Amino acid sequence: LDVKSLFTFFFPQVLLLACAEDLECVPGFRQKVFYIEQPFEFTEDQPVLKLEFDDCKGNSKLNFEVSNPDFKVERDGSLIALKNVSEAGRALFVHARSEHAEDMAEILIVEANEKHGALKEIFKIEGNLGIPRQKRAILATPILIPENQRPPFPRSVGKVISSEGTEGAKFRLSGKGVDQDPKGIFRINEISGDVSVTRALDREAIANYELEVEVTDISGKTIDGPVRLDISVIDQNDNRPMFKEGPYIGHVMEGSPTGTTVMRMTAFDADDSSTDNALLRYNILKQTPTKPSPNMFYIDPEKGDIVTVVSPVLLDRETMETPKYELVIEAKDMGGLDVGLTGTATATILIDDKNDHPPEFTKKE
């Protein structure tokens, strides 16, 4: 075997180029690991690189998620910055998911003087990926796993690499989710270093796992490590907004000026608050009764503040059918897009009486 072949055999996860299968389509990213030089600044709307994902069935409903919210991946696979970014960290992770397949790509951002092809330089990045810098031969880069993955399990989610060549050396994984409750979620192939997950994860239950990986000799004695292995669960939009603080009752004085704030409605979404999965927008679905105007009130779509929008003349308790109005309020996640999940609650608004009518004699004696 030549040097290139040996490198390919022992370190498939750190190759700069990933080779596709010649005879059949393999679902996922064509290239899983990228190395890019740290620019002075990532420029808004300028492509950083292009990723190729193929689920071998037409990429129906393909969606990309980037670990850094300052970046996004276009439909054609182009990674772009949403604004000018001078500091993006040392790694980006891109999760792709379609109807038929999902995969993860890793983008390592290196300094110009770091030699991409040299293994010793690759290990040098370890301390800048959130992993404590130690004199270790183990490279355990962070792993991102989408929640609610579908079977089959177990499925490979990452790889730990060691430059140690000790005969009989084995990887050992420990921590919460391995040998501590909840046990058995993760495991590692003691020879290859492949890390796998054994069942679907729930980000709302546990969002992050801090594991430790070490290398042992044939007798089980630790010869390197432990090194921390961070596993983060990527949020999926699987929780509906909920109104938890009801009943919602507000008061407004009759004759109040247009734009008077009556009350605030706020909902809670258990999904990741840093993503659109928990970005809520509010809307009034129904008003009862509908007189003297079917649109007596307005709700701020972002804040949830309910305000009056009718003339003070129409906000007259004495001429109304009833001084009580009920509004059906909807909260929708995904920033209010059609694909968002919804939750509803009822707001009761009472029109309070104001002493605005003098006494009148209704009958002469």
Residue 365 pLDDT level (bands cut at 50, 70, 90): low
Residue 364 pLDDT level (bands cut at 50, 70, 90): low
Give pLDDT, residue 133. Answer: 41
Closest C-alpha among 260, 14, 243 to residue 117? 14
Residue 329 lies in a domain: yes
Q: What is the pTM for the complete model shown?
A: 0.60
Query: Of 181, 214, 236, which closes a domain?
Result: 236
Query: Does residue 79 contact residue 47 with C-beta atoms inside 8 Å?
Result: yes
Query: Of 236, 269, 291, which closes a domain?
Result: 236
Chain segment 334-356, per-residue pLDDT in tens: 999 998 999 999 999 999 988 66
How many other CB atoms are there within 10 angstroms of residue 9's CB atom? 9
Give pLDDT, residue 70. Answer: 83
**Least confident among 21-25, 144-148, 167-171:** 21-25
Residue 242 lies in a domain: no
Average pLDDT over residues 63-71: 83
Query: Does residue 89 contact residue 38 with C-beta atoms inside 8 Å?
Result: no
Give pLDDT, residue 126. Answer: 42
Q: Are residues 305 and 346 in the same domain?
A: yes
Residue 12 lies in a domain: yes
Cα–Cα distance, 197 to 187 (Å, whole number): 7
State the average pLDDT for the chain. 83
Chain segment 304-333, per-residue pLDDT in tens: 999 999 999 999 998 999 999 999 999 999
State the Rg of the chain over Cα: 29
Q: Are residues 210 and 276 in the same domain?
A: no
Average pLDDT over residues 237-254: 94
Q: Which residue has the higher pLDDT, 285 or 17?
A: 285
Residue 125 pLDDT level (bands cut at 50, 70, 90): very low
Residue 112 pLDDT level (bands cut at 50, 70, 90): low
Burial of 38 per CB tally in 10 Å (0-12, 13-18, 19+): middle
Average pLDDT over residues 27-51: 87
CATH number of the structural domain spanning residue 282: 2.60.40.60
Q: Are residues 169 and 140 in the same domain?
A: yes
Q: Are residues 155 and 170 in the same domain?
A: yes
Q: Give me the count of residues in the chain.
A: 365
Highest mean pLDDT among 53-57, 171-175, 337-341: 171-175
Do the bridges between strand 170-175 and strand 47-50 make them parallel or antiparallel, or are there none, so unpaired? unpaired
Give pLDDT, residue 16. Answer: 30
Residue 241 lies in a domain: no
Residue 363 lies in a domain: no
The encoded tokens of residue 82 equal 């949403």
Residue 83 lies in a domain: yes
Closest C-alpha among 305, 291, 288 to residue 348? 288
Domain count, the chain: 3
Highest mean pLDDT among 5-19, 24-38, 215-229: 215-229
Task: State which residues form the domain around 82.
Answer: 1-125
Q: Are residues 79 and 135 in the same domain?
A: no
Cα–Cα distance, 265 to 248 (Å, whole number): 8
